[in-house]
A = this chain, B = another copy of it.
């Protein structure tokens, strides 16, 4: 197949590198910043242009929601019937609605995607052919998405090294991702704000590292994703705050039994989760 990748940052770059390493598909890439495109050229079979866009079997637009919509709007005139166009944005309900409205009139099929992999660093230089190994590739089809398109993209995801391709309604995706990914980034970012951070050298181990790893993030990109999933994310933030307050209250009142019970409930939920997921 001919695969187009528009946007060669961490995600697009990792897709390119993994496709070249693991498959014989031809890859065509585009990046707004010329310097990045130059760096990617050794991996590319060609540059993705308005002229050859119609030849791509599958096109991945690997940009933030607003940039992806802009790119789609500018390039919709050059798309052809039956082509598959995918985004990889971390929120789906809003993005899928917008992208379908832009793409569908061209006769191409839009398939909403979210590769559940990432790093706390960005850019083509950090792109990694092995980024997707063991990860989940989420596809969010709608009533407008042909089954064959979903199957084709699923298959390609497995070829890139993803462990599984999972289907979900865009709304369901957004509700779950607010918890598993967005809340994690907010909590980690907030965690790094204590003035005690400056004294932690020599006094920290794995739990501190884990809690603050994703404090490092692309503020603009995440702001965009958070705002597009406001209600789900607020629900999770509010719930976490309510739960944290309970530990605080038990602690303040030196209520040993309640504090133990609060911790034991969390412990059991985590153990059940590990059991459910065979870990």
List of B residues within 8 angstroms of A204 by Cβ: 116, 136, 180-181
Q: Among the listed stretches A75-83, A96-104, A192-200, which one makes contact with chain B, having 4 or more residues with CB under 8 Å of it?
A: A192-200
CB-nearest residue of chain B relative to A214? B207
List of B residues within 8 angstroms of A211 by Cβ: 183-184, 187-188, 210-211
A273 x B191 contact (CB < 8 A):
no
A 144-186 contacts with B by CB, 8 A: 164, 166, 168, 172-173, 175-181, 183-186
Selected contact of A136 from candidates B172, B176, B202, CB within 8 Å: B202
A266 x B193 contact (CB < 8 A):
yes
A interface majority secondary structure: helix
Selected contact of A260 from candidates B193, B207, B220, B264, CB within 8 Å: B220
A34 proximal to B (CB < 8 A): no
Least Cβ–Cβ distance between A133 and chain B, in angstroms: 12
Stoichiometry, copies per complex: 2
A67 proximal to B (CB < 8 A): no
Least Cβ–Cβ distance between A55 and chain B, in angstroms: 33
Per the bound structure, the CA–CA distance linking A119 and B152 in Å amounts to 42
List of B residues within 8 angstroms of A217 by Cβ: 263, 266-267
A194 x B273 contact (CB < 8 A):
no
A184 x B210 contact (CB < 8 A):
yes
Which residues on A are within 8 Å of B, measured CB to CB? 116-118, 135-136, 138, 164, 166, 168, 172-173, 175-181, 183-194, 196-208, 210-217, 219-220, 222-223, 226-227, 230, 233-234, 236-241, 243-245, 247-248, 251-252, 254, 256, 259-267, 269-271, 273-274, 276-277
Q: Rank and list the top 5 A-B pairs by shortest CB-CB distance, nearest first.
A: A189-B266, A215-B270, A184-B207, A179-B196, A166-B202
Name 12 A/B residue pairs within 8 A (Cβ), A-sorted.
A116-B202, A118-B207, A179-B194, A180-B196, A192-B266, A200-B277, A215-B270, A223-B256, A223-B263, A230-B252, A234-B251, A241-B245
